[in-house]
Amino acid sequence: MRTFVRGAATWDVECPRRPGRTAGVTMAGFRIHGPEALRIVPHPAVTLLLDFGDGRPVIDCAAGKQAQQRGSFVAGPGLGDGGATWARGENIECVQVRLSPMIAHTILGASPADLDGAVVPLDDLWGRDVPRIREQLRDASSWQERFVLTDALLARRHRPGRPVDPEVAWAWRRIVGTRGTARIDVLAAEVGWSRKRLWSRFRGQVGLPPKHAAKLVRFDHAAHRLVAGEGAARVAADTGYADQSHLHRDVMAFTGTTPATVAGEPFLTVDDIAWPGGAVSGPLP
């Protein structure tokens, strides 16, 4: 377990020692002792949070959406878009799971598009199973046991249903593989679809339009490089932005703050401890 200290907040972070059985799933464990509020920085994965501690995590959401969510929740790709979503709480213990949008619907029972950018209470999706999951995680004797329990839970809930269109899955892999620099019109031509059809099917199955998904993946890669200490001009040049001003505009759009501030965001620093390399999710076939 690694410890991260920022102001009055102390985070203990634990990672699984071995990969899980379901492709497209990664997880990490958090114990948060202090009361500091953290800006949630958008990430290109579906977020599932399973809380079991004495305190309850509180998510303060952007105006116009569900104003506040306590406890376990699920949210689609890009949670925190616009910089108006914050997480806070004291004495929090939780397992956070990242699900690739390609397999999220088979585990959650709902498509990422059904989440519509909101933070959805997990009770709304899994009902009476949620208190039982919370109790099992709380009674576990170690973090590794909790990861095994969570892995088994996700494998049990994995119900292959209507698959994501192969063309959509291929476009998503290309977007992730190129770190968001793939051109959407080129992707549409390569799968033999019109741009309009790719937009519609991608939005309906991933929860984001393809161009916004590409911007989010590119931003995520750039933000992690900023946190690693690289200069904004170098990051902009290496990650497909036209110039440093272009990077600045994207960072402002996603986080509501500047690249210099994002470089010091504790959420991203903790993120890099929990998911070294900033992986979107586990490997997919």
> Structure pTM?
0.92
CATH 1.10.10.60 corresponds to the domain 166-266:
yes
Query: How many C-alpha atoms does 263 have within 13 Å on its Cβ side?
Result: 13
State which H helix or E strand residue 129 sits in.
helix 129-139
Is 168:206 a contact under the CB 8 Å cutoff?
yes
pLDDT of residue 283: 45
CATH topology of domain 2-161: Jelly Rolls (2.60.120)
pLDDT of residue 267: 83
In the chain, where the domains are located: 2-161, 166-266
Q: What is the pLDDT along the chain (285 residues), one digit of tens a residue?
A: 888 887 767 889 999 999 899 999 999 999 988 767 888 999 999 999 999 999 999 998 865 555 688 899 999 999 989 888 888 888 899 999 999 999 999 999 888 888 877 899 999 999 999 999 999 999 999 999 999 999 999 999 988 766 789 999 999 999 999 999 999 999 999 999 999 999 999 999 999 999 999 999 999 999 999 999 999 999 999 999 999 999 999 999 999 999 999 998 888 888 888 988 655 554 444
Cα gap 104→116, rounded to integer Å? 14
CB neighbourhood size of 116 (10 A) = 10
pLDDT of residue 26: 95
pLDDT of residue 285: 42
DSSP state of 165: P
State which H helix or E strand residue 47 sits in.
strand 46-51
Amino acid residing at 166: P
Amino acid residing at 60: D
pLDDT of residue 143: 97
Beta bridge partners of 99: 25, 46
